[in-house]
Amino acid sequence: MCDEKKEKKKKETGLGLSVKKDENFGEWYSQVVVNGELINYDGKIAGCYVLRPSAVSVWRTMKDFFEAEIEKMEVEEYKFPMFISDSNLQKEKDHLQDFAPEEGHTAFATKEEADAEVLQILELYRRIYEEFLAVPVVKGQKTEKETFPGADYTTSIEAFIPEAGRGIQGATSHSLGHNFAKPEMFDIKFQDAKGETKMVWQNSWGYSIRTIGVMVMVHGDDKGLVIPPRVAKYKAVVVPVPSKDAADVRGIFDACAATAKALENAGVKRVKIDLKDNYSPGWKYSRYELLGVPLRIEIGRNELAKQQVCCVRRDNNSKSYVKRDEGLAEEVKKLLDDIQQSMFDAAKKKRDACVQVVKTWDEFKAALAQKKMILAPWCDEEEVEKEIKERIKDEEGGTVKSLCTPFEQPELHEGTLCFATGKPAKKWTYWGRSF
């Protein structure tokens, strides 16, 4: 009966989640992005939603970093209209669903320059995921079948969601070669140092707010969001734990205000203080856990008496007590840095445990059934990849695809055979179900 009342209260207040991540991943995700105040659904147009301040803050942090880095590469920003001519629409008819609204297009005189930039941009995307979102990714090249239409080759970063047993493409960086510079397309030319007219070598690259979704899927838990400090709207929240003594209450509230101000003045930005007196401390704890605030700083009667604060980490729920003196800010900074690194380490350990090396078709099917991220040697033939998809569909149901061929290749010993055909293997490639 008690559990039923708790469940009913959750649904009435909207505070908390009614499903567990590992039991109903899809419903869990739908609840956590809404209840965690990342988005609101429009409700009238399918696929449309409103980004709330917390999501906007995450996006802005990544965007500011990325734009600062590409400015160093002399990439300039353009703003294009929402509407384009029918003639240009026809030229792009094969690519409309693949271009993102936030993307880069660059042109170079030589293939070598263009190829170098493809990898340079991909490395920036890796940094966004691993250094900001604390999400481990694999850098690699797409197979011929998964290459962006119109590209010479496509590189990508791939993440993996253990609870769903699915990979997800994090971002892409494409070499377009001469394909869009041709006279029948956009006829983009330049004169080289010798005065000769040549077509440019083009690249295209992009990432989107999908990055935020990947962060949520990797780090979120049954309590709600878990947001890394580097991108969180609020890195810490200061919560008073008032007693029944009026004098203590005033002192506790004053100590909370002073603590928040001291942290801000010492360079710990984005600290929130919650002095609302119409909600209990327990309710506030649950709310900020749901919102994924990395660090909760509590001050109650005991902390006030001992001139200290209680720091509670969102990532592992551990508590520590820190003196409320000139060293507080440095200790909080250390805690936030440790949370950031610990989140990445935990996610990587969990992801790595899902990677399975297979060398035969039966091993491949077994690993797929166990929701693994599969690394397998194969012959690198487009027709074989099509056959793999069809065989899985017929034998196991569902879909499978190549995720990427990692740049960091395990040693391919002489005589290694393709897991699907028995032909000589040419490289190792990641496979799995995907979003």
Sign of CA dihedral 414, 415, 417, 422: positive
| Nearest-5° Cα angle at 348, 427 to 343 | 155
- Kindly state whether residues 69 and 213 are assigned to the same domain: yes
The string of DSSP letters for 247-296 reads HHHHHHHHHHHHHHHHHHHTT--SEEE---SSS-HHHHHHHHHHHT-SEE
Asked if residue 5 is part of any domain, the answer here is no
Q: What is the pLDDT of residue 97?
A: 46
CATH number at residue 417: 3.30.110.30
Number of residues that this document lists for the chain? 435
Q: What is the pLDDT of residue 40?
A: 93
> Which residues, other chains included, contact 103 with Cβ-Cβ below 8 Å and sequence gap of 6+?
204, 205, 206
Boundary (domain end) residue, out of 350, 375, 397: 350
The string of DSSP letters for 212-252 reads HHHHHHHH-BTTB----TTT-S-SEEEEEE--S-HHHHHHH
Which domain does 119 fall in, by range?
62-219
Boundary (domain end) residue, out of 167, 188, 219: 219
- Kindly state whether residues 344 and 366 are assigned to the same domain: no
Asked if residue 8 is part of any domain, the answer here is no
- Kindly state whether residues 190 and 300 are assigned to the same domain: no
pLDDT at 6 over 90: no
Please report, for residues 152, 154, 404, the alpha-carbon distance to residue 139 in angstroms, rounded to integers and kept in the order given.
18, 11, 8
Asked if residue 413 is part of any domain, the answer here is yes
Query: Average per-residue pLDDT in the chain?
Result: 91
Total domains in the chain come to 3
> How many percent of the chain have pLDDT more than 90?
82
Lowest-confidence range among 50-59, 110-119, 184-193, 204-213? 184-193
Q: What is the pLDDT of residue 12?
A: 37
Boundary (domain end) residue, out of 350, 381, 414: 350
| Nearest-5° Cα angle at 315, 313 to 316 | 75
CATH number at residue 205: 3.30.930.10
- Kindly state whether residues 191 and 252 are assigned to the same domain: no
> How many percent of the chain have pLDDT more than 70?
91
- Kindly state whether residues 308 and 199 are assigned to the same domain: no
- Kindly state whether residues 211 and 243 are assigned to the same domain: no
What confidence tens digit (pLDDT) does each residue in 152-177 have? 999 999 999 999 999 999 999 999 99
Asked if residue 262 is part of any domain, the answer here is yes
- Kindly state whether residues 213 and 90 are assigned to the same domain: yes
The H or E element containing residue 163 is none
pLDDT band of residue 251 (cuts 50, 70, 90) is: very high
Please report, for residues 91, 99, 178, 234, 344, the alpha-carbon distance to residue 96 in angstroms, rounded to integers and kept in the order given.
10, 6, 19, 37, 35
